[in-house]
């Protein structure tokens, strides 16, 4: 009973955390849009960018356009993809529309376009990253991309890039090449900051080591790097001989030290280093964050 109560409290805390992330994230996005992008005719990415374009051309409230355009998209999303994601995205879209209406008229007094690009991109990217960390979105192109990816196997990143190309092309047509380039620069800053929020600065590297001195290398990794490793068994494709493979995940700052350790123990060892996009679960030196996705 106590274990069940503890699990319920944990889920409630996680739910509260996700709601807070969505609210803070969409508020930051609305401040960037109303306070920095609109005064300089800069568009955002995806459906939000289309809504900003309609606002600039026809003076229609941005929040209303986002709601209207997203209604058929959410209906399709509810029919074809994960319903939990759709419900969270509906919450994110509703929160963004509310804060866009709430912050309407808020502007930052800046005449420098570079300030708009950098500050707007940072605020918008940080807010969008918080929304995505809550397993949510603001609807629009994210849902369309997921539907197309599920049934036609096109990359989500490629599809989102295609939507942004359309936005930039419309910006060129209506506002000229200068504003379009500034829009593209803002999208780039937004993407960089969003990636930082999602992945953090503690980048990891996955390392495979093929060596006949597996025990010595394994002990060195454990004692000198304070990391665990897994020993796998492989077979050489050319020689047919059984080979020992050590698998471990380390921090990027430890890579140089690991190379030095391996070269000292076995100069003929083979190492393969790959970038790790995400690390979760129980492992020596890592925090268990698996429960965030439950």
pLDDT, mean of residues 198-213 = 83
Average pLDDT value for residue range 149-173: 83
DSSP assignment of the chain:
-HHHHHHHHHHHHHHHHHHHHHHHHHHHHHHHIIIIIGGGT---SHHHHHHHHHHHHH---HHHHHHHHHHHHHHHHHHHS-HHHHHHHHHHHHHHHHHHHHTTT-------HHHHHHHHHHHHHHHHHHHHHTT---STHHHHHHHHHHHH---HHHHHHHHHHHHHHHHHHHH-HHHHHHHHHHHHHHHHHHHHHHH-S--EEEEEEE-S-HHHHHHHHHHHS----EEEEEE-TTT--EEEEEEEEEEGGGHHHHHHHHHHH-TT-EEEEEEES---SSBTTB---GGGG-
Mean pLDDT of 67-89: 87
What lies within 8 Å, CB to CB, of 164 at 6+ separation is: 45, 46, 49, 187
At residue 5 the predicted structure's pLDDT band, cuts being 50, 70 and 90, is low
What distances in angstroms separate CA 221 from CA 135, 166, 215, 257, one per listed residue?
Answer: 35, 49, 10, 10
Q: How confident is the model at residue 1 (pLDDT cuts 50, 70, 90)?
A: low
Query: So what's the pLDDT on residue 290?
Result: 37
Cα dist from 77 to 26, 72, 88, 97, 153, whole Å: 21, 9, 12, 19, 16
Q: Lowest mean pLDDT of 138-147, 203-212, 279-288, name the range.
A: 279-288
In the chain the first and final C-alpha atoms are separated, in Å, by 20
pLDDT (mean) for 82-97 = 89
User: Higher pLDDT residue, 33 or 112?
Assistant: 33
Domains of the chain, earliest start first = 2-199 (no CATH), 204-293 (3.30.70.120)
pLDDT confidence band for 253 (50 / 70 / 90)? confident
Q: Residue 292: its pLDDT value, please?
A: 41
Instruction: Identify the residue with better confidence: 105 or 172.
Output: 172
The pLDDT assigned to 153 comes to: 74
- Report the pLDDT averaged over residues 36-45: 88
pTM over 0.85: no
Q: Which residue has the tokens 């805390």?
A: 13
Q: What pLDDT does residue 193 have?
A: 92
Structure tokens that stand for 173 in this block: 């047509």
289, pLDDT greater than 60 = no
Confidence of residue 294 (pLDDT cuts 50, 70, 90): very low
Does the pLDDT value for residue 279 go beyond 90? no
């Amino acid at each position: 009973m106590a274990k069940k109560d503890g699990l319920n409290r944990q889920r409630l805390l996680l739910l509260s955390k996700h709601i807070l992330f969505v609210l803070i994230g969409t508020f930051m996005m609305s401040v960037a849009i109303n306070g920095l992008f609109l005064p300089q005719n800069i568009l955002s990415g995806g459906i939000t960018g289309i809504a900003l374009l309609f606002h600039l051309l026809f003076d229609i409230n941005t929040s209303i356009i986002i709601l209207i355009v997203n209604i058929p998209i959410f209906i399709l999303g509810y029919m074809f993809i994960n319903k939990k994601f759709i419900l969270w995205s509906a919450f994110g879209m509703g929160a963004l529309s509310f804060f866009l209406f709430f912050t309407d008229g808020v502007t930052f007094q800046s005449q420098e376009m570079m300030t708009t690009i950098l500050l707007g991109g940072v605020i918008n990217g940080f807010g969008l990253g918080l929304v995505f960390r809550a397993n949510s979105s603001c609807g629009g192109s994210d849902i369309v991309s997921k539907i197309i990816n599920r049934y036609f196997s096109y990359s989500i990143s490629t599809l989102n890039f295609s939507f942004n190309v359309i936005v930039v092309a419309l910006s060129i047509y209506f506002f000229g090449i200068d504003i379009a380039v500034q829009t593209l620069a803002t999208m780039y800053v937004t993407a960089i900051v969003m990636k930082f929020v999602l992945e953090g600065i503690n980048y990891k590297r996955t390392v495979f080591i093929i060596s006949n001195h597996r025990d010595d290398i394994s002990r060195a990794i454990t004692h000198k790097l304070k990391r665990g490793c897994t020993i796998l068994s492989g077979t050489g494709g050319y020689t047919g001989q059984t080979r020992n493979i050590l698998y471990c995940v380390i921090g990027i700052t430890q890579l140089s030290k690991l190379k030095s350790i391996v070269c000292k123990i076995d100069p003929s060892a083979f190492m393969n280093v790959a970038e790790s996009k995400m690390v979760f679960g129980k492992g020596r030196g890592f925090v268990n964050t698996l429960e965030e996705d439950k």
